[in-house]
């Protein structure tokens, strides 16, 4: 059975992802609340796929991806984040992430999961006519981790540490 590790600091997001993934494909889903737990759980479980959030307490997703890639280089890592930008995608790839998906599209998440696991897309003739359910990402501000800042990575810059970047929170 396919083993998937989800690392996100919001329990509601982890639960919604678990339901979405288990409903789409038979799999065993494990969870972590931050990047440090993700590393420990990845080493313990040796999952077939790891889904990381970017902004997590203790250790952000980019740092966790770099560490996991060192010890499990063949394990695909997918970053599922509210903070998608082209510079983040480049920094994530340099950190060992194979795909970055914005949290606004659960259908894109399922497509990326299938791609990374080598699972063929469902036959359109047999597929449900309903789109993938949306994941409720409404999180009370007190429980969400601060947004890490992401530097625009270039050929001359290595993937940034969470505190080194420029992905700023929108002005309100």
Q: What pLDDT, in 10s, does the model give residues 35-59?
A: 999 999 999 999 999 999 999 999 9
Q: Which residues pair with 79 in a beta bridge?
A: 52, 100
Give the Å distances, CA to CA, from 74 to 48, 69, 129, 131. Answer: 9, 8, 34, 31
Compute the distance between CA of residue 166 and CA of residue 172 in angstroms, rounded to an integer: 17
3-class state of residue 92 by DSSP: helix
Residues near 90 by beta carbon (within 8 Å), at least 6 away in sequence: 152, 153, 154
Compute the distance between CA of residue 77 and CA of residue 136 in angstroms, rounded to an integer: 22
CB 12 within 8 A of CB 136: yes
In tens, the pLDDT along 123-161 reads: 776 555 444 555 554 444 334 444 444 433 333 344 434
Q: Show the domains of the chain with their CATH numbers.
A: 2-121+129-164 (3.40.50.2300)
Residues in the chain: 172
CB 24 within 8 A of CB 17: no
pLDDT score for 153 = 37
């Amino acid at each position: 059975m396919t083993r998937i590790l989800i690392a996100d600091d919001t329990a509601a997001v982890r639960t919604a992802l678990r339901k979405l993934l288990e409903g789409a494909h038979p799999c065993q889903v494990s969870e972590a609340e931050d990047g440090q737990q993700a590393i420990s759980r990845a080493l313990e479980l040796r999952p077939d796929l790891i889904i990381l959030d970017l902004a997590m307490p203790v250790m952000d997703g980019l740092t966790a991806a770099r560490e996991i890639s060192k010890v499990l280089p063949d394990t695909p890592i997918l970053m599922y984040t509210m903070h998608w930008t082209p510079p983040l995608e480049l920094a994530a790839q340099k950190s060992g992430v194979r795909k970055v998906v914005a949290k606004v599209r659960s259908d894109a998440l399922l497509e990326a999961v299938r791609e990374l696991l080598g699972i063929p897309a469902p036959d359109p003739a047999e597929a449900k006519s309903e789109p993938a359910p949306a994941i409720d990402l409404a999180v009370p501000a007190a429980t969400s981790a601060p947004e890490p800042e992401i530097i625009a990575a270039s050929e001359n810059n290595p993937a940034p540490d969470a505190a080194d970047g420029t992905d700023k929170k929108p002005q309100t």
